[in-house]
Amino acid sequence: MDDIDSLKTELQILSNADSPNIINLIEVFITTTNFDIIMEHCEGGSLLDRINLLLENGKCFTTDQAAFILRQIILGLNYAHSNNFVHRDIKLENIVFIDKNVTNLKLKIIDFGLSKYLHEGLKRMKEKLGTCYYIAPEVLKGNYNEKCDIWSCGVLLYLMLIGTPPFFSDVEGDNSNIYQKIKTFQYSFNNKCKELLKIFYF
């Protein structure tokens, strides 16, 4: 998917979306050289920012907080899937909070650049897209549907409660090791790499 196709898909999806848990597209100005996009303003930072803030104080989200966050994400994805589009890149950076007040956990799903419309002739996808820590095993096999987003939600829940990704490599940049662990479901609830969240996106 090239950048222009990705942008067109994202704009089409967001212009039609009507969910309190999906970022609002306000206006688009198109010139011969630019796409100028005005989006809803969210100033609370990403879910990655919030987790790192907690980790700096030796904490993770409580179960109640994680449940409240996850419910909003699931509601947004339920709307998406009910309207025949799949996100394909659910991750910490693509969940943003509306308010800087850390007690306000209302959020929006953003970045639909890898999204795809499903229709009668396209119920399953083959492209191996997404971010390695969150990618579903069926995506790695090249035969998947919208349920890949639900797998990614499970990864988010793990991150919120444990403070580390469920699947990771001890060797920086070794995605193949991460993929192998995903395919074989090699994870633990005793991960000790609390600092990994600060580096594993770079």
Which amino acid, one-letter code, is at 200?
F
Which amino acid, one-letter code, is at 106?
K
Active site residues: 89
DSSP 118: -
In sequence order, the 6+-apart residues with CB closer than 8 A to the CB of 192 are: 164
Structure tokens at 95: 């969940």
CA pair distance 99, 91, nearest whole angstrom: 19
Structure tokens at 38: 């005005």
Cβ–Cβ under 8 Å, residues 191 and 164: yes
